[in-house]
Chain A
Amino acid sequence: MTRYLGTSVKRVEDPRFLRGLGKYVANLTLPNMAYAAVKRSPLAHAKIRGIDTTRAKALDGVIAVFTGEDLLEGTGGFKCGSLPCGFQVPNLNMPPHNPLAVDKVRHVGDGIAVVVAESPYIAEDALDLIEVDLDPLPAVVDARGAMADGAPLVHDSAEQNLAFHWPLGDEEAVNEALSKSDHVVELEFINQRLIANAMEPRAAAAEWDPATESLTVWTTSQNPHTIRLLLGAFTLGIPEHKIRVISPDVGGGFGSKIFHYPEEVIVPFAARAVGRPVKWVATRSESYVTDAQGRDHVTKAKLGVNNDGTMTALHVTTWANMGAYLSTFGPLIPTALYITLFSGVYKTPVIFGEAYGTFTHTVPVDAYRGAGRPEASYLVETMVDLAARKLGMDPVELRRKNLIPTDAFPYQTPVALMYDSGNYQALFEKIEELSGYESLRKEQEAARAEGRLVGVGFASCIEASGPAPSAVAVGLGAAIGLFESGAIRVHPTGKVTVLTGSHSHGQGHETTFAQIVADQFGIDIADVDIVHGDTGRVQYGIGTYGSRSAAIGGSALVKSAEKIREKLKQIAAHQLEASVEDMVYDQDEGTISVAGSPDMVKTFAELAFASVLANNLPEGMEPGLEESSFYDPANFTFPASAHVAKVEIDPKTGEVDLQSYAAVDDVGNVINPMIVEGQILGGIVQGVGQALWENGIYDEDGQLLSGSMLSYAMPRADGFPSIALDRIETPSPHNPLGVKGAGEMGTIAATAAVSSAVLDALAPLGVRHLNMPLTAEKIHQAIAAAGNGGGE
């Protein structure tokens, strides 16, 4: 039998996806199903003076129309509650978030009423017949501007629109170190808003069974158990054990499908109220104004550096846009997933960071691939580049001077985190070789001599992946522990069903988790099935985000497999009349034999059957072969990366040509290299999207100007060169697989690397900084301001 770990097993889920056999929420059709559509606010801020649903209700085929008031008042003793925030930082101001707006609307897209109809077409037609009398109010969209005197308030209960202030680090020590530094580089900049665009828009469906008084909800969620918990405890008030949440095949999430959304409340309410199954599927246009968005920071930073290149201190203040309501994990992102990352791969001795989370009349902001960590790496790497330029030092040389040494692990940063393992020097050696860094610099020199604008960008980044040890997570504000569950059920014939609390929505868990389990037992991967995404089948679990599944979900499976292997050894020892200590589990062959007597052997399948035949088991042993584990990690894992990008800018148009890209990542041990490379590549493309094209733009009235694929510039394949990938492996010492997170690393490094390259290209013109996205027009303006960029 071959071992699977470390090999590029083809994804077992792909044949069904490629043949159109995936089963998504939108595919679900239940007998007598009705269809919902949501009437949404066209204004960012307005008082609701009245809602007239008479004409909509009169339309042929409309079954019911409900408003926010209807949901709060309820029907038959059943009513909806406010959507809670699941991450409570100290002194958090948490105004109510009704599933449909009551009294006021607070962002374009805020739900006002829901139509239930015989077809999605009729539901959509009825939306036009709902008359909403809105009294427009002034809006605020800017994270820092929201705190200004006289700014319109999003919630009357939140003065200055402040949701929270979260400081970390010794500010006094930082200020003192800055005052003693040879140089202090300062920068004020924007990390622009991004909008997630999963291939599959969100959807929700629900069916109420009056016989058992139980509810089934199908939803496009990355964490169905969390949704069930919140539905049971907060938003629907139906007992948790009477709710089943199913997240079937889900077409991508990138974070935006972690959160508990209003439609997951509205649709079950409607289903129960009309006594029929109800389904809602978002249009792409709806996704743009309802899915939680990403980033959106205004930041002021100061980095101290001495003449020899030593970084001395970092001081950062960030205003983080929370949008109109606190999304489920909103406050976590610019705090514990951002400020704690300010040390990067460097041994900066003192660091202070603080974040003001503010309400604005925009779509809520929450985790988006990388979630706080790309913002941190962009900040740190941008400041490091500025320091290098200030000193006239090669940016890689300056970085090397400040790297955390390999013998310093585990490394305690000044911002709370303890890095588990790493080898940043090896990472640097490999990326310099892979990218041909020195020759890129020579090419650049030659190009500059010809007056061409060529830039080389470098980013070396850290990620805290695999959130998180439950004690740490809850201590920081999480409302639940962040362990993961994994159960293994061995059937009488030796076939295996695995039940994981993780959720795969593109990551390939059905393959990687099967690799893990098959290797644990030495069986064929085809004999292992992975079940996920159904609270009716899978024990309580946490779900997939923060690059946590392999490290935590995978480790839970290893723990369960170890328990099963131990039981198998006991059965084998009993039947072979040997002592358990002498039993050897051969994970290559899937057999257990007596040490020194290879012919005294039992196969995995023989022992599985023996466990249910149950006539010849050790004294007191229970029949059957099924074990579960709840694995709580000892720490985050800390993947690291070094990426190099080369660009050339067309001086006449400002257009950026990304000419080469190389990435070396350290995600610890690799389970499936093909899948990891896919994750890194996809992450890079997404990260470059932020650097060059993507921008969620609100005008001053709170209208989303980039609210469609036409105006929001998602990356396309033709914008990319071939990307060179390589890796080093420093295993995580604290999980049994030695793995680290791989899902977000590409995004975390690529934005910084490409921004660095563009700014490097423009450096000879005296351009110090440009905010992302680095569009052709913005760059052309900078070139023109420097006295260049005339006609052809």
Chain B
Amino acid sequence: MYPREFDYVAPASLEEAFVALGDDAKVLAGGMSLIPLMKLRLLSPGLIVDIGRIPGLDSIEEADGHITIGALVRHADTASNPLVTANAAALAVAASMTGDVQVRNRGTTCGSAAHADIAADQPAALIACGATMVARSASGSREIAAAGFFVDTLTSALTPAEVLTAIKLPKAGPGEASAYDKLGRRGGHSDYAVAGAAAWVKKSNGMVEAARVALTGVGTKPMLLEGVGSALVGADGSDAAVAAASAHALDAVTVLEDLYGSEEYKGHLAKVFVARAMKKALAAV
């Protein structure tokens, strides 16, 4: 477990980080995914840009109708922060189910998103909660909707020059709620998701006015299930409506078989957890 040789810089500001970044560089925040990959020599960047000493990136704040999660906010903080639990319960729960205690105390929510593992928990919650990813580089700043951020297996929409400096979550309005549930590889909620789903719903006058449902662990990336959300909209949110909507869980998903589940089983679990997430979200409204 010895990585190949690499250079290391610890910039004092984002601007310095932007200068250092390039095609052969990787951003280090918590390091919970990056370091193991380097030690296994599956990834051998020439330069590590450690953003851990840059001030101002480690807080969760409310401003302009958004909750902002900085690049250095740890999973454990995301899981327990009152702003997150009140406005994006799905994300708080997903963060609480990420890794183990040590990983949650060290790894970051933004890092998990940038890593874009196909079975990570928080990406699904970010998609369902309608998060906006803030990517900055020397040439400026751009905002990417979470639903479009996860491009493929271990591939996000970030360019090598960019740092995911923050994630913005919309404040929850009246009648809105979200939830996340999964089956972990070691049973229960432990370990990566064999299948996990996040759901966000908005109800008014007893009807579902809007819904977003996202799936992780099953396909080639965490993804928005548009068919499920649109099937739920306009319904009353009853168990029957949920069941009907969850039937669309695999409409646009190519199920990936792995050691933890056959194609058939994972496809089945996708429907089960999509339904469970929707029920939990509806119950929380």
Contacts and interface: CB of A to CB of B under 8 A. Distances in A.
Interface of A: 120-121, 123-125, 283-285, 652-653, 655-657, 692-693, 697, 705-706, 710-711, 713-716, 718-719, 776-777, 780-781, 789, 791-792
B190 A719 contact: yes
Contact of A713 (B39, B185, B189): B185
B207 interface: no
B187 A693 contact: yes
Contacts of B168: none
B2 A716 contact: no
A716 B100 contact: yes
Nearest to A123: B2
Contact of A792 (B2, B100, B275): B275
Given A120-B2, A653-B272, A706-B259, A792 B246 contact: yes
Contacts of A284: 1
Contacts of A655: 183, 187-188
A792 B271 contact: yes
Interface in B187-216: 187-192, 194
Given A120-B2, A711-B259, A719-B187, A653 B269 contact: yes
A789 B187 CA distance: 17
Q: What size tier do the contact residues of chain B reach? A: 35 or more
B250 to A, nearest CB: 11
Contacts of A718: 188-190
A693 B186 CA distance: 6
B261 interface: yes
B247 to A, nearest CB: 8
Given A284-B1, A655-B183, A655-B188, A791 B259 contact: no
B80 interface: no
Contact of A780 (B3, B189, B265): B265
Interface string B254-285: 00000111100100110110011001000000
A711 B258 CA distance: 10
A126 to B, nearest CB: 11
Contacts of A706: 259
B231 to A, nearest CB: 14
B146 to A, nearest CB: 25
Nearest to B269: A653
Contacts of A791: 243, 246-247, 268, 271-272, 275
A714 B259 CA distance: 15
Contacts of A697: 259
Interface of B: 1-5, 39-41, 100, 183, 185-192, 194, 242-243, 246-247, 259-262, 265, 268-269, 271-272, 275-276, 279
B272 A792 contact: yes
A282 to B, nearest CB: 9
The 5 A-B pairs of least Cβ separation, nearest first, read A792-B275, A283-B1, A124-B2, A777-B265, A121-B2
B272 A776 contact: no
Contacts of B247: 791
Contacts of B242: 792
Nearest to B278: A792
Contacts of A715: 186
A700 to B, nearest CB: 15
A201 to B, nearest CB: 9
A792 B260 CA distance: 20
Given A121-B2, A718-B189, A792-B243, 19 more contacts: A124-B2, A125-B4, A285-B40, A655-B187, A656-B187, A657-B187, A693-B187, A705-B259, A713-B191, A718-B190, A719-B187, A776-B183, A777-B260, A777-B262, A780-B268, A781-B265, A789-B268, A791-B246, A791-B271
A161 B199 CA distance: 55
Given A705-B259, A719-B188, A791-B275, A776 B1 contact: no
A444 to B, nearest CB: 20
Contacts of B183: 653, 655, 776
Nearest to A784: B268
Contacts of B246: 791-792
Among A121, A123, A284, A776: residue with most chain B CB under 10 A: A776
A653 B272 CA distance: 8
Nearest to A714: B186
A698 B190 CA distance: 24
A792 B271 CA distance: 7
Contacts of A780: 265, 268
Nearest to A658: B187
13 contacts: A284-B1, A285-B40, A653-B183, A653-B272, A656-B187, A710-B192, A719-B188, A776-B194, A789-B268, A791-B247, A791-B268, A792-B271, A792-B279
Contacts of B275: 791-792
A86 to B, nearest CB: 31
Nearest to A652: B272
B276 to A, nearest CB: 6
A347 to B, nearest CB: 38
Contacts of B260: 777
A401 to B, nearest CB: 35
B256 to A, nearest CB: 14
B187 A692 contact: yes
Contacts of A656: 187
Contacts of A713: 185-186, 191
A781 B190 CA distance: 21
A89 to B, nearest CB: 35
Given A121-B2, A705-B259, A791-B243, A716 B272 contact: no
Contacts of A711: 259
A714 B190 CA distance: 11
Among B186, B246, B265: residue with most chain A CB under 10 A: B186
Contacts of A776: 183, 187, 194
A754 to B, nearest CB: 12
Contacts of A283: 1-2, 39
A792 B188 CA distance: 17
Contacts of B269: 653
Nearest to A695: B259
Among A693, A697, A705, A792: residue with most chain B CB under 10 A: A792
A781 B261 CA distance: 11
A121 B5 contact: yes
Contacts of B276: 792
A42 B3 CA distance: 19
A789 B191 CA distance: 23
Contacts of A705: 259
A653 B184 CA distance: 11
B186 to A, nearest CB: 5
A781 B265 CA distance: 8
A170 B185 CA distance: 45
Contacts of A710: 192
Nearest to B279: A792
A719 B194 CA distance: 16
Nearest to A711: B259
A706 B247 CA distance: 33
Nearest to B1: A283
A709 to B, nearest CB: 9
A622 B212 CA distance: 88
A705 B259 CA distance: 8
A716 B191 contact: yes
B2 to A, nearest CB: 4
Contacts of B194: 776
Contacts of B185: 713
Contacts of A120: 2
Contacts of A692: 187
Contacts of B271: 791-792
A284 B2 CA distance: 11
